C-alpha cells in the first residue's frame, strides 16, 4: 500500500497516533501489521486510498469504521467466492479498494467452470486466516504477560484468624487459589 500525506491525531485499541510522532506511512505500516489482508495475493488484494487514510487519521469514527471493514474484508471475498460457486462459476480474481467516499469490489469470474475455487484466492484466504490466528495468540500471550506483571507489582494485605497455624495456612491457601500460579516469585517464610 503506497500512501503520502499529513497526519492529525486519534487513538485505537492499544495504539495512539498523532501528527507530532507519526506520519501516514507509520499509520499504513500499523494497518499492514494488524490486517494481513492488506498483503496482496496472486489473485486477491485489499487496499486503502491515501485520502481515506488521511481522513481516518484525523477522525476516530472513520478510523474505527476502516478497521472494522478491514477485519471483514476476507469474509467479503469468501462470500463472493461462494456466490460464484453457487452460480456455477469460478471467481478468478478479486480486489477491494476502500476509498474516502466509496468502496469498490472488483471481481473477475469464469462461468461454466463447474463452480470451483481459484487456488490463488484459496491460498491467500488461508494465509490471512493463519496470520489472524497468530495475531490473536500473540495478543493473548501479551495480555497474560501484562496481567502477570501487574499482579507482581500489586500488593495486598489480608488478615486471617484461626485456631492454629494449619488453620491460618488453609485460609490463606483458599484465598490465594488461582492466583499463585501468576505470582511465581512469591515466597513464604513461616516461623513459629
Whole-prediction pTM: 0.62
Closest CA to 93 of 74, 104, 77: 77
Domain boundaries, the chain: 10-157
Measured CA to CA, the distance from residue 121 to residue 91 in angstroms comes to 8
Residue 145, number of CB atoms within 10 A of its CB = 10
Indicate if the alpha-carbon torsion angle 62, 73, 124, 95 is positive or negative.
Answer: negative
Pick the more confident residue, 12 or 161: 161
pLDDT in tens, 105-115: 888 887 766 76
Which grid coordinates are listed for 174?
483458599
**Average pLDDT for 2-20:** 39
Q: What is the pLDDT at residue 141?
A: 92
Angle between helices 24-34 and 60-86 (to 10 degrees): 40
Which grid coordinates are listed for 109?
469470474
Amino acid at each position: 500500500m503506497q500512501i503520502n500525506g499529513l497526519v492529525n491525531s486519534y487513538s485505537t485499541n492499544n495504539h495512539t497516533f498523532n501528527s507530532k510522532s507519526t506520519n501516514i506511512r507509520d499509520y499504513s505500516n500499523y494497518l499492514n501489521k494488524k490486517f494481513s489482508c492488506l498483503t496482496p495475493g496472486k489473485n486477491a488484494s485489499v487496499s486503502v486510498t491515501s485520502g481515506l487514510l488521511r481522513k481516518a487519521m484525523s477522525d476516530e469514527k472513520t478510523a474505527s469504521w476502516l478497521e472494522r471493514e478491514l477485519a471483514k474484508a476476507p469474509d467479503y471475498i469468501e462470500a463472493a467466492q461462494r456466490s460464484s460457486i453457487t452460480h456455477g462459476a469460478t471467481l478468478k480474481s478479486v480486489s477491494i479498494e476502500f476509498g474516502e467516499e466509496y468502496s469498490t469490489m472488483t471481481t473477475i469470474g469464469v462461468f461454466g467452470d463447474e463452480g470451483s475455487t481459484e487456488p490463488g484466492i484459496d491460498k491467500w484466504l488461508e494465509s490471512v486466516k493463519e496470520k489472524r490466528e497468530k495475531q490473536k495468540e500473540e495478543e493473548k500471550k501479551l495480555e497474560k504477560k501484562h496481567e502477570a506483571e501487574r499482579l507482581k507489582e500489586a500488593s495486598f494485605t489480608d488478615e486471617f484468624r484461626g485456631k492454629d497455624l494449619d488453620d491460618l495456612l488453609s485460609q490463606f491457601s483458599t484465598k490465594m487459589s488461582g492466583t499463585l500460579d501468576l505470582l511465581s516469585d512469591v515466597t513464604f517464610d513461616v516461623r513459629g
